[in-house]
Structure 1
């Protein structure tokens, strides 16, 4: 991957956003995973990235506060995924006079789209992930280390232009991040190797990038609109899928486990566990991205290896 990294840095250096030179650059990211990547790039520079969403908040349904709007306007650089992820941001970003990077448009990303007729969903037509329309971009792109490298390279190029004094540090940090991704991939693959093929269900189709990279595949998605209580027929159909799967895991996401989880799994040989793809409660440390990804691998394996 080192050659891909070098090409990414060279490309981004040629198109980097022009910012006035300054000793400190205020970086604001929409979500924690982007903040974790930025923290790795900014390590040792004297500056630390900020994040917009508080721990436990969903980027799909967040409501901006007046203080959030001010932070967006004041930041020197803003990084966000795109409108399929943070639907609350486009209108606010229109008023920014400083540079903004829409990560989903970076060249070199490996992108996925949600299948129009995914076999992972139940045959009940009401059972699908209401946050993700069939055919739309799967914007959980940070759960691929290939994409994380591309993001880090872009951040290093932007920061080098904005803060030339620390340019060598940013480039070195991004190179080290790139190298650490190889080791990270190896550790996660080894951790989940023994559980590939074991059945599990999710409440949110947000882990496809991770699953694809490490040989995992969810059996089904149990997702319903937050404002709609599923009917008895719908719940029965979902329970039938669990009964057919036998021993399996059902993964929800923090901070709250859906009440439906208990109803679905009562009396069945099913284990309940959590997956946190946003790393919402992680510290924004230079190794935070690796910690987020390794925790996902450990949480997958921790439940599935007990089946």
Structure 2
């Protein structure tokens, strides 16, 4: 009888410690997942800062992370195109795809509302695979939603003086940010993130920027 009780206690203890092993593809999403899983587990970040999700070759250590993962969180196969082969080898029940739309623009994290929707769906998935920590996930998403609401208000306040000013954007990567904050776009210089900039598009953008008196250009850090 005593042996059976000890064995049951051991099993309960082992299950309590078996927290999910989570891998997240890129840094912006990793931040959201880390907030939700705080106090339960620390998700691993798959791609380093200098690695592009669009075209990269994973190291053996990164492939090992995917092999050991209970859940892999990524944007969309079209976004992490360089990881397509690796993701195809992961069981479907271990994959969590954030964007379900088949579009050329998957920079959805630039819209805070999208991140709140993503967080809600992720919590539902985590509770399904790790019900023992339901209370922690529920508490964490309440705090995260509060922080994101404060962030939305802060962004809105800071952009208030720029609301009616035309803004040029280098690629459609910023569409989510522009639309969610009701900003005015004067021109889109390249059609999509990663497209090569031609002389024709450069001259066209310069003409529009001048004619609309645009004083702000949004671009990503890799653009010289």
Give the TM-score category using the shorter length.
0.7 to 0.9
Q: Counterparts of 1:216-255 in structure 2 under 5 Å?
A: 216-223=183-190, 230-231=198-199, 233-254=200-221
| Aligned-residue offset at 1:76 | 1.3
2:48 is the alignment partner of 1:54:
yes
Take 2:117 and 2:195, find their aligned partners in 1: how far apart are those partners? 37
Question: Which of the residues 67, 70, 95 maps onto 1:76?
Answer: 70
CA RMSD of aligned residues (A): 2.6
Counterpart secondary structure, 2:52: coil
Q: Could you say if the C-alpha distance between residues 34 and 226 of structure 1 is closer, same or farther in structure 2, counting changes exceeding 3 Å?
A: closer
Match for residue 26 of structure 2 among 31, 53, 75? 31
Trace 1:102-181 onto structure 2 (pairs within 5 A): 102-105=97-100, 136-181=103-148
TM-score, normalized by length of structure 1? 0.60
Whose RCO is larger (CA < 8 A, sep 6+)? 1
Query: Any gaps of 5 or more consecutive residues in structure 2?
Result: 1-14
Q: Which runs of 4+ in 1 moved over 6 A?
A: 224-227
> Does structure 1 residue 188 correspond to structure 2 residue 182?
no
Matched, 1:40 2:35: yes
TM-score by length of 2: 0.80
CA–CA distance in structure 2, aligned partners of residues 227 and 144 of structure 1: 22
Pair 51,217 (structure 1): closer, same or farther in 2 beyond 3 Å = farther
Q: Deviations over 1:32-87 (max 9, x none)?
A: 12111111111122x21112121143322333333322222221110111122111
Query: Computing the radius of gyration over CA atoms, which structure comes out larger, 1 or 2?
Result: 2
- Tell me the distance in 2 between the aligned counterparts of 1:91 and 1:242: 41
Q: Structure 2 vs 1, CA of residues 146 and 251 (structure 1 numbering), >3 Å: closer, same or farther?
A: closer
Query: Which structure dedicates a bigger proportion of its chain to helix?
Result: 2
Any stretches of 5+ residues in structure 1 without a counterpart?
A: 1-19, 106-110, 114-135, 259-307
